[in-house]
Amino acid sequence: MNVLDYMQTLGNQARVASRAIARASTQDKNAALVAIAAAISEQRDTLKAANALDMARGQENGLDAALLDRLELTDGRIDGMLEGLQQVATLADPVGEITDLKYRPSGIQVGKMRVPLGVIGIIYESRPNVTIEAASLCLKSGNAAILRGGSEAIESNQALAACIRTGLAAAGLPAETVQVVETTDREAVGALITMPEFVDVIVPRGGKSLIERISRDAKVAVIKHLDGICHVYIDEFADKTKAINIAINSKTHRYGTCNTMETLLVHTSRAADILPELAEAYTNIGVELRGCERTRELLVDINEATAEDWDTEYLAPILAIRIVDTLDDAIEHINRHGSHHTDSIISENYTLSRRFINEVDSSSVMINASTRFADGFEYGLGAEIGISTDKIHARGPVGLEGLTSQKYVVLGNGEIRQ
């Protein structure tokens, strides 16, 4: 079978399965999650053997250390999968929730019911644990899923797919509820994103160029997350201790995450008081600083930040610093150079901080908190399939609710339109 036919077959099977999983009971979906965990636990050795094949081929092919690290299925990661499955099982089922049922003057009662999206296609890097994460979130939210992981993880993913099938069967749910693409042919991705008759939404996870390509070529909705160029703005009325703690934490808690601060903005009136102390702390931790002209008058040793720096997601121990004159300048800088991801103001001023959260056009806006909090778990979603920097449908961390939609429900007693 050629790749296109194969993907169409998966798509058709997913569409059929999506109807069954959409009306599956919470009990059955949770039973499947628990049974998948049991299968993974039983097959731990098989999974590690399959992963060893991927790792060996990856080493042969000269994958870099970071990629190999993400590819590896350690016992710790397998335990993490088991824990994740249990956690998703304990989350409230979003499907079927009815809200806002209100009577209208005509006598009908109108509300909204939360329903699955249908079939979700997920395209991700060579990280086998994402297979289980994505499968569990789609399953719990009543969606069918087609998963296309990175080709380097093909053996691991197929072994995990077998565990998923075992779990689904144990709960009496269709095996096609979660399908893992079995070919590493890149045409499979092209097919997956252009089958609106079978796939309702695509969630791409990976590098910016992959996501841009998928967004450009997809014929269905894409819940996408491009880069995270996050800012902290230390306002004129900032509390110095909060400012320093949050600026350090937002940059240095982890360097490679999308909610890490990449540019620090400081109100001119506070620069002399705060920047030298902050710079010393950063330098001690090993963060390279790059500053605007005025910053470099205060911190004479640091490099110059060029125009490019303001638009760069470093994902590394590098920080750009700019001194601004007003809140408006800070907001203007963030809306122009940021990626609409996460931005935080440090201020004790009510009106200025209120303006900041109203006017900064990002998926998460914060007052006196570290940008590192922009995360599904920290927000109480229980889990997250990604962080959307889009405005349509889902914005910010996407959990179970982001994988659903709402339909209108009308309860009547024989009413007709007059």
Look at residue 349 and give its three-state secondary structure.
coil
Most distant CA atoms of the chain, gap in Å: 78
Instruction: Using the minimum distance from each CB to a copy of itself, give the nearer residue, 74 or 412.
Output: 412
Among 363, 384, 385, 400, binds a copy of itself (CB under 8 A): 363
As measured in angstroms, the least distance from the Cβ of 224 to a copy of itself is 11
As measured in angstroms, the least distance from the Cβ of 221 to a copy of itself is 4
Report strand pairing: 221-222 vs 201-204.
parallel
* Contact set for a copy of itself, span 239-268 (CB under 8 A): 239, 241-242, 245-246, 248-250, 253
Yes or no: say if 115 and 406 are a contact pair by the CB < 8 Å rule. Answer: yes
As measured in angstroms, the least distance from the Cβ of 275 to a copy of itself is 19
CA angle, corner 123, sides to 214 and 262, nearest 5? 75
Which residue is associated with the tokens 């500053």?
Answer: 291
For residue 388, the surrounding DSSP H or E stretch is: strand 386-388
Yes or no: say if 249 and 372 are a contact pair by the CB < 8 Å rule. Answer: yes
Give the x/- contact pattern for a copy of itself in 287-326, rule: CB under 8 A.
----------------------------------------
As measured in angstroms, the least distance from the Cβ of 233 to a copy of itself is 14
Look at residue 384 and give its three-state secondary structure.
coil
Which residue is associated with the tokens 């249990």?
Answer: 86
Kindly give, in sequence order, each residue whose CB lies less than 8 Å from that of residue 304, ignoring residues fewer than 6 positions away.
290, 291, 293, 296
Instruction: Using the minimum distance from each CB to a copy of itself, give the nearer residue, 58 or 338.
Output: 338
As measured in angstroms, the least distance from the Cβ of 137 to a copy of itself is 17
* Contact set for a copy of itself, span 23-42 (CB under 8 A): 23
Pairwise CA distance, residues 226 & 221, whole Å: 15
* Contact set for a copy of itself, span 3-22 (CB under 8 A): 19, 22
Instruction: Using the minimum distance from each CB to a copy of itself, give the nearer residue, 59 or 358.
Output: 358
Instruction: Using the minimum distance from each CB to a copy of itself, give the nearer residue, 78 or 195.
Output: 195
As measured in angstroms, the least distance from the Cβ of 287 to a copy of itself is 16
* Contact set for a copy of itself, span 374-393 (CB under 8 A): 374, 378-380, 390-393
Instruction: Using the minimum distance from each CB to a copy of itself, give the nearer residue, 66 or 417.
Output: 417
Yes or no: say if 383 and 133 are a contact pair by the CB < 8 Å rule. Answer: yes
Query: Which of 44, 184, 190, 205 lies closest to 137, judged by CA?
Result: 205
Asked if 407 interacts with a copy of itself (CB under 8 A), we say: yes
CA atoms within 13 A on the CB side of 198: 23
Pairwise CA distance, residues 323 & 327, whole Å: 11
> Which stretch, 155-163, 280-288, 304-312, 368-376, contacts a copy of itself (CB under 8 A)?
368-376
* Contact set for a copy of itself, span 333-352 (CB under 8 A): 335, 344
> Which stretch, 67-75, 78-86, 297-305, 370-378, contacts a copy of itself (CB under 8 A)?
370-378
* Contact set for a copy of itself, span 178-237 (CB under 8 A): 200-201, 216, 219, 221
Asked if 59 interacts with a copy of itself (CB under 8 A), we say: no
* Contact set for a copy of itself, span 111-170 (CB under 8 A): 113, 115, 117-118
Asked if 276 interacts with a copy of itself (CB under 8 A), we say: no
Look at residue 239 and give its three-state secondary structure.
coil
Task: Extract the runs of DSSP E, i.e. beta strands, from 55-126.
Answer: 98-103, 109-116, 119-123
Instruction: Using the minimum distance from each CB to a copy of itself, give the nearer residue, 51 or 353.
Output: 353
Look up residue 78 and give its two tokens.
């397998």
Which residue is associated with the tokens 């399939």?
Answer: 385
Pairwise CA distance, residues 330 & 161, whole Å: 48
Query: Which of 59, 269, 13, 287 lies closest to 278, judged by CA?
Result: 287
| Chain residues that interact with a copy of itself, rule: CB under 8 A | 19, 22-23, 96, 102, 104, 106, 108, 110, 113, 115, 117-118, 200-201, 216, 219, 221, 239, 241-242, 245-246, 248-250, 253, 335, 344, 357-359, 361-370, 372-374, 378-380, 390-393, 395-397, 405-417
